[in-house]
Amino acid sequence: MPHLPPPQLNENDIRSIVRLLGQVAVEGNCLREKRKLLMTGLISLIDADSWAWGVYANETPGELQQPSLLMYDGFTPDEFGAFAIAQNHPDMARLSAPFMEDCRQSDGRVTRLRQQVDPENTFPNSEAYHLWRAANVDPLILSSKLNRSGQRGVIGIYRKFGRPLFNERELRITHIVLTEVSWLHEESCQKIPTEAVSCLSPRLNTIHNLLLAGQTRKQIAHELSISINTVHSYIKELYQRFEVHSQAELIRRFIQGDGGDGL
């Protein structure tokens, strides 16, 4: 995968980065608020439209990564539904393979542009392309780091279809900002039961992420074009696997870190 030389940032870029990092340090009553503040400021700096923050449950080469999507912003409910489905499309194992290989070879943070991950621009011919169109995302920056507990936090930053690709300057800003707040990533992943997530089927993991996003059973049935009864069956299985009794408990376990799992 080609690696672009880091560009020089101008004085305004440096000032904006320092201002954002200072704001995150002193504002926000909890880590979740700080994460939201950080990402809102970052997408403003690089003129992005949306972002998602999650944890990969699987790093086996050639297999789906099975993400738990813990936070996101900039998507409509329908767009996020398509986004969650796209994450678990079988073709994503192939599309994400170059990025995941870079991650496996690095002990630090890895941040890449779409044109680095897919230099031959095979994405438009992917079987998953129609789902990403429905999610209204195309240009992207991916950033990932393995934390001390062995879990991989991943952030995707996106622009809508038809907008210009991110450039090397925007990549550099993203990498610097996310590297400087690595403690946020450590705390965000500590209590995620990734081993249990890695055992989910792609369909179960999609429903898992839609539940974490707060979608109702009716909304999930609509997104996946399945019956309410089928959704009930999937949700019942998810609750049994994670030993919870409600959507609120599931959200608390993954997003608020109160899973009762002893971690």
Superfamily name with CATH number, domain 11-192: Transcription factor LuxR-like, autoinducer-binding domain (3.30.450.80)
**Which whole number is the average pLDDT over 156-181?**
95
**Which whole number is the average pLDDT over 107-131?**
91
Within 10 Å of residue 165's Cβ, how many Cβ atoms? 13
Residue 160 pLDDT exceeds 80: yes
User: What strand order describes the sheet that includes 50-56?
Assistant: 67-73, 50-56, 152-158, 140-146, 110-113
Least confident of 155-169, 173-187, 209-223: 173-187
> Do 98 and 61 form a contact (C-beta atoms < 8 A)?
no
Residue 2 pLDDT exceeds 70: no
Distance CA 178, CA 180 (A): 5
What is the structure's pLDDT at 194? 65
- What average pLDDT is seen over the chain? 86
Residue-wise pLDDT for 60-92, tens only, equals: 777 777 778 888 999 999 999 999 999 889 898
195-254: CATH topology = Arc Repressor Mutant, subunit A (1.10.10)
Are 11-192 and 195-254 in the same CATH fold? no
Please report which confidence band the pLDDT of residue 184 belongs to, taking 50, 70 and 90 as the band edges.
Answer: low
> Do 159 and 141 form a contact (C-beta atoms < 8 A)?
no
Question: Residues 89-108, buried b or exposed e (16+ Cβ, 10 A)?
Answer: bebbbebbeebbebbeeeee
Domain ranges of the chain: 11-192, 195-254
Residue pointed to by tokens 């020089």? 8
Residue 204 pLDDT exceeds 60: yes
Of the chain, the percentage scoring pLDDT greater than 70 comes to 87
